[in-house]
């Protein structure tokens, strides 16, 4: 047996072991949740939740607010990574919108203590719903035991913002920092063969250099400066502060903290970021007072999941429909689970919309940093078939729609983005590791014969030959040219103009509008309205095309956020490591050609 086969067998065995462990844990969870579900039904009867008068609608998202919830993974929970749940932004929006016209709901209470991620684009959409709730004469309060930057931006839309006396508000600003491995790879004698197009395509830099390139530094600084400016202005407007006051709190936090004896909560209070410091019990009493109760024990609260169930499910769509297909996460080949993007699974949803005569237009909701170039093109071609069938296609960009995420959007009839959407990154690359020097240094060599000149073109243990390098670079160049031509055709621009704003550079949605890469700024609702306009329909319903969930997946989704796992002190590092594993798993392009934005969030 050869060394290569031995190594391949070893790593394949390790992969199978981890896969078996994950499946076993998932099956165990499903069994336990099924028992819990049966017990709940037996004890609770068939009576559904009800909404009493003068109730407080409680929005307390746990984990991340996402476009589309996927199947929960029990492994992070077992590793102590609390907050690994997901909440669909559409569910939060639906609850707030229904409560706006519901006389039984007196106040909206946002408890953000367990929220660990929400994109700025989602905050903008939720903020619009919150303002409509306020315009109806209803009060909104926000509370958290600590405010991260994400939490605070959402909280700033509330009429009053409360903080626990032991809590703090931290606004560190935006940064783009990466780990660089070239020094380690040099010590291990690992050669990384890189083929790319795009001056600013920095995805491969951690493997080829010890620091950020000047080009990447320039582009990243411009991006974070733009994003931070939007954040500061939003907080200042929502809190009736000046942008300078918000910047001072962020930039001089250490000095401001010292001025009050090191009390973070008091620092936030004195500088206007919160309205009052309240303990848990005091918060309950305040919320009771808001709904007209003198005793906190008489407080009526309704969580948003129960509220959605109590106010009825969405009625089945009838008549003309606009289909929404969500493309969230890394773009991969094959059939992927719900909440992910797969060349087969996502294309199948688009095809279903195309073949449904009642569907008059398709909206592609993108929240993806890209991935496989091949998979991106498969999905884009399926969208083009819908257009050929006479159904307009509108791309709606969420928090990030870059590289492959822009590729699948490029030829849509219209593209809509949030002002803070991270988009662009028009560039491609290929990267292949070689262990020839590493193995040679420990006495392992490779030799043999082949039937043709390219039979030894690439092997992990012998590296990439010069001729194979030529082939890969030519393929990458061709893929980039195809990318440019697709964008030029879709955006009615010249290839030269696209290349000028391409080269792998990342832009905000606001800047992308100036550059002609998008048609307008707005959320998913605006994109749906645009699709209706293009389809020339006025009376329609919206249907989200989703991959069906199995019974086990439904149980996991229903109970995942209520398992009671506490977050460990090392949760951040565990989550980061798991994300790295998922990124490697997503690299499954058959030609090893990728359109990925490495600096984008959501990876």
**pLDDT tens, residue by residue, 363-381:** 999 999 999 999 999 999 9
82 & 140 share domain: yes
Higher pLDDT, 429 or 486: 486
Active-site position among 340, 368, 403, 462: 403
73 & 161 share domain: yes
65 & 43 share domain: no
| Ranges 164-168, 200-204, 281-285: which has the least confidence | 200-204
Residue 376 lies in a domain: no
Q: What is the pLDDT of residue 552?
A: 61
Q: How confident is the model at residue 41 (pLDDT cuts 50, 70, 90)?
A: very low
Residue 102 lies in a domain: yes
31 & 136 share domain: no
Number of domains in the chain: 2
Please answer whether residues 157 and 112 qualify as being in contact, where contact means their C-beta atoms are separated by less than 8 angstroms.
no
Q: What is the DSSP letter of 84?
A: -
Q: Is 507 helix (H, G, I), strand (E, B) or coil?
A: strand
Residue 201 lies in a domain: no
Q: What is the pLDDT of residue 341?
A: 93
Q: How confident is the model at residue 235 (pLDDT cuts 50, 70, 90)?
A: very high
pLDDT digits (tens, 9 = 90+) for 542-563: 999 987 766 665 665 555 545 4
8 & 137 share domain: no
Whether 403 is a known active-site residue: answer yes
Among the listed residues 91, 93, 104, the one whose alpha carbon sits nearest the alpha carbon of residue 57? 104
The token pair at 308 is 């959605």
Q: What is the pLDDT of residue 459?
A: 73
Domain that holds residue 102: 53-174+226-310
| Ranges 133-147, 172-186, 485-499, 509-523: which has the least confidence | 172-186
Please answer whether residues 96 and 142 qualify as being in contact, where contact means their C-beta atoms are separated by less than 8 angstroms.
no
User: For 386, phi and psi rounded to 5 degrees?
Assistant: -65, -40
Of 310, 344, 368, the last residue of a domain is 310
33 & 169 share domain: no
Residue 595 lies in a domain: no
160 & 273 share domain: yes
85 & 4 share domain: no
The token pair at 174 is 């935006």
Question: What is the SS3 string spanning 141-200?
Answer: EEEECCECHHHHHHHCCCCEEEECCCCCECCCCCCCCCCCCHHHHHHCCCEEEEEEECCC
Please answer whether residues 141 and 107 qualify as being in contact, where contact means their C-beta atoms are separated by less than 8 angstroms.
yes
Number of other CB atoms surrounding residue 461 within 10 Å: 17
Q: What is the pLDDT of residue 558?
A: 59
User: For 204, phi and psi rounded to 5 degrees?
Assistant: -90, -10
- For range 85-107, the mean pLDDT: 95
- For range 129-151, the mean pLDDT: 97
What is the end-to-end Cα distance of the chain in Å, rounded? 38
Q: What is the DSSP letter of 317?
A: P
- For range 350-357, the mean pLDDT: 97
Whichever domain contains 266, its CATH number is 3.90.226.10
| 13 has pLDDT over 80 | no
Q: What is the pLDDT of residue 444?
A: 86
Q: What is the pLDDT of residue 315?
A: 62
Residue 155 lies in a domain: yes
Among the listed residues 371, 67, 376, the one whose alpha carbon sits nearest the alpha carbon of residue 384? 376
- For range 50-63, the mean pLDDT: 92
Higher pLDDT, 85 or 534: 534
258 & 276 share domain: yes
| 111 has pLDDT over 80 | yes
Q: What is the pLDDT of residue 410?
A: 97
Residue 81 lies in a domain: yes
Higher pLDDT, 202 or 399: 399
Number of other CB atoms surrounding residue 23 within 10 Å: 10
Task: Return d(Cα 139, Cα 130) in angstroms, integer.
Answer: 9
Among the listed residues 191, 166, 135, 162, the one whose alpha carbon sits nearest the alpha carbon of residue 286? 162
Q: How confident is the model at residue 225 (pLDDT cuts 50, 70, 90)?
A: very high
Residue 72 lies in a domain: yes
Give the residue carrying structure tokens 């070689």: 434
**Across the chain, what does the average pLDDT equal?**
86
Q: What is the pLDDT of residue 44?
A: 44
12 & 76 share domain: no
In the chain, % of residues over pLDDT 90: 64
Among the listed residues 163, 126, 144, 99, the one whose alpha carbon sits nearest the alpha carbon of residue 238? 126
143 & 249 share domain: yes
- For range 504-532, the mean pLDDT: 97
The kind and range of the H/E element at 126 are: helix 120-135
| 393 has pLDDT over 50 | yes
Number of other CB atoms surrounding residue 316 within 10 Å: 7
Strands 115-117 and 63-66: parallel
Q: What is the pLDDT of residue 317?
A: 59
Among the listed residues 543, 93, 563, the one whose alpha carbon sits nearest the alpha carbon of residue 360? 543
Q: What is the DSSP letter of 275?
A: S
CA angle 418, 112, 278 (to 5 degrees): 135
Furthest-apart CA pair in the chain: how many Å?
88
* Cα atoms found within 13 Å of the Cα of residue 328, Cβ hemisphere only: 22
Task: Return d(Cα 345, Cα 337) in angstroms, integer.
Answer: 8
β partners of residue 66: 88
Of 310, 345, 373, the last residue of a domain is 310
Task: Return d(Cα 439, Cα 365) in angstroms, integer.
Answer: 46
| 224 has pLDDT over 90 | yes
Residue 351 lies in a domain: no
Higher pLDDT, 176 or 392: 392
Cα dihedral: 547, 68, 203, 405 (round 10)? 70
Higher pLDDT, 599 or 89: 89
In the chain, % of residues over pLDDT 70: 81
pLDDT digits (tens, 9 = 90+) for 60-71: 999 899 999 876
Task: Return d(Cα 582, Cα 560) in angstroms, integer.
Answer: 20
Q: What is the pLDDT of residue 82?
A: 47
Active-site position among 201, 360, 391, 547: 201
> 3-state DSSP: the chain helix, strand, coil percent, rounded to 5?
45, 20, 35
Higher pLDDT, 570 or 219: 219
pTM of the predicted structure, to 2 decimals: 0.85
| 603 has pLDDT over 90 | no
Q: What is the pLDDT of residue 15?
A: 45
Q: What is the pLDDT of residue 578?
A: 45
Q: What is the DSSP letter of 549?
A: P
Of 277, 310, 343, the last residue of a domain is 310
4 & 66 share domain: no
Q: What is the pLDDT of residue 69?
A: 87
Whether 201 is a known active-site residue: answer yes
Please answer whether residues 597 and 397 qualify as being in contact, where contact means their C-beta atoms are separated by less than 8 angstroms.
no
């Amino acid at each position: 047996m050869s060394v290569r086969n031995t190594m391949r067998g070893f790593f394949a065995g390790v992969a199978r072991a981890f896969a078996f462990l994950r499946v076993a844990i998932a099956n165990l969870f499903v069994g336990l949740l099924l028992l819990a579900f049966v017990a709940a039904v037996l004890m609770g009867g068939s009576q559904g939740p009800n909404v009493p008068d003068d109730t407080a609608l409680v929005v307390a998202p746990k984990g991340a607010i996402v476009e589309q919830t996927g199947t929960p993974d029990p492994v992070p929970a077992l590793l102590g990574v609390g907050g690994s749940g997901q909440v669909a932004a559409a569910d939060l929006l639906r609850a707030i919108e229904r409560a706006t016209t519901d006389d039984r709901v007196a106040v909206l209470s946002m408890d953000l203590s367990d929220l660990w991620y929400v994109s700025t684009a989602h905050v903008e959409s939720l903020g619009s719903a919150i303002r409509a709730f306020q315009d109806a004469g209803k009060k909104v309060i926000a509370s958290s035991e600590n405010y991260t930057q994400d939490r605070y931006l959402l909280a700033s839309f509330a009429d009053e913002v409360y903080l626990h006396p032991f809590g703090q508000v931290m606004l560190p600003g935006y940064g783009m920092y990466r780990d660089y491995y070239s020094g380690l790879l040099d010590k291990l004698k690992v050669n990384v063969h890189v083929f790319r197009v795009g001056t600013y395509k920095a995805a491969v830099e951690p493997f080829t250099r010890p620091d950020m390139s000047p080009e990447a530094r320039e582009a990243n600084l411009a991006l974070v400066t733009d994003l931070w400016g939007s954040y500061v202005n939003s907080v200042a407007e929502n809190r009736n502060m000046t942008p300078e006051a918000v910047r001072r709190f962020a930039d001089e936090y250490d000095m401001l903290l010292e001025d009050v004896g090191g009390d973070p909560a008091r620092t936030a209070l004195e500088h206007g970021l919160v309205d009052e410091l309240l303990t848990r019990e005091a918060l309950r009493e305040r919320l009771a007072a808001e709904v007209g109760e003198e005793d906190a024990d008489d407080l009526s609260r309704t969580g948003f999941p129960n509220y959605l169930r109590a106010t009825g499910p969405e009625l089945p769509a009838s008549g003309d429909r606009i289909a929404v297909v969500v493309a969230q996460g890394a773009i991969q080949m094959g059939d992927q689970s719900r909440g992910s993007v797969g060349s087969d699974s996502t294309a199948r949803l688009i095809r279903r919309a195309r073949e449904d005569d009642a569907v008059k237009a398709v909206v592609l909701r993108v929240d993806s940093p890209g991935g496989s170039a091949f998979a991106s093109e498969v999905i884009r071609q399926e969208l083009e078939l819908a257009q050929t069938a006479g159904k307009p296609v509108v791309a709606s960009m969420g928090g990030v729609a870059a590289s492959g995420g822009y590729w699948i959007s490029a030829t849509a009839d219209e593209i809509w983005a949030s002002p803070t959407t991270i988009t662009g990154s028009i560039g491609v690359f290929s990267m292949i590791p070689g262990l020839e020097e590493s193995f040679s240094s420990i006495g392992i060599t490779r030799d043999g014969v082949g039937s043709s000149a390219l039979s030894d073109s690439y092997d992990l243990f012998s590296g990439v030959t010069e001729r194979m390098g030529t082939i890969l670079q030519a393929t990458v160049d061709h893929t980039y040219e195809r990318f440019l031509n697709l964008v030029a055709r879709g955006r009615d621009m010249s290839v030269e103009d696209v290349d000028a704003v391409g080269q792998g550079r990342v832009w905000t949605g606001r800047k992308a509008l100036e550059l002609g890469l998008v048609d307008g700024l707005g959320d998913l609702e605006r994109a749906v309205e645009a699709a209706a306009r293009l389809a020339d329909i006025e009376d329609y319903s919206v249907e989200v095309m989703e991959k069906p969930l199995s019974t086990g997946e439904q149980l996991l989704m229903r109970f995942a956020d209520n398992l009671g796992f506490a977050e460990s002190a090392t949760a951040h590092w565990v989550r980061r490591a798991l994300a790295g594993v998922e990124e490697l798993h997503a690299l499954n392009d058959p030609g090893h050609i990728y359109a990925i934005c490495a600096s984008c969030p959501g990876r």
